[in-house]
Structure 1
């Protein structure tokens, strides 16, 4: 059953990102009345785009955890912590690159990844 959930999370992530770009974000960004953050709507558009796609990354992280839980090994805790760390590393990279570091969520995402990895060394 967990493999079905894994598959559904992967599919919904793909659909969410693709359909969101096609039918929501691109249409929204054509508007001329978006809030101007940091002096222009460039930052607003970038934050909306990375936040939209970050949902997909989170869902894929959950998919990986469900996959690991479907056939747990003796190292399941370590494997789940690695998935969590990787999910937050990818989230940090996306946040940093989409906003050129101006949205500070990347700092928190990297800190979460680091604390997860430090936890592995203490176990």
Structure 2
């Protein structure tokens, strides 16, 4: 079973990296060249930033799942490991949303609160 968990984690890591790279290169950049994107907050900049961080959040989530599978494969597995991995995944979600939206998309705050709640729950 351990080998299968490692294999699944490796596949998630690969698909995550491919998703971010290929999506950015072949989908997002081409999409953002269009002149008919919705204009929120006075320009299409917010729309572009929101689509970009939403796209990459998926990749971060898959990396988080890979980390969970690696934790499950570990002989030192504990429920605390799961909480900390999930908290770290949402810290990354929060940071990406905050950075790419320049704080305008409030999801960063929700992701940060989830992270803090999980860290507090772990103690």
- RMSD across aligned positions (CA): 0.8
What's the CA shift string for 1:41-64, capped at 9, x where partnerless?
A: 000000000000010000000000
Which of 86, 89, 93 in structure 2 is aligned with 1:87? 89
Q: Map 1:1-123 onto structure 2 (within 5 A).
A: 1-73=4-76, 75-121=77-123
Cα offset, 1:91, TM superposition: 0.6
Structure 1 segments of 4+ aligned residues over 4 angstroms from their partners: none
Unaligned runs of 5+ in 2: none
3-state SS in 2 of match to 1:36: coil
Q: 1:5: Cα distance to partner? A: 0.6
TM-score (norm 1): 0.95
Gaps of 5+ in 1: none
Equivalent-residue separation in structure 1 for 2:94 and 2:6 (angstroms): 27
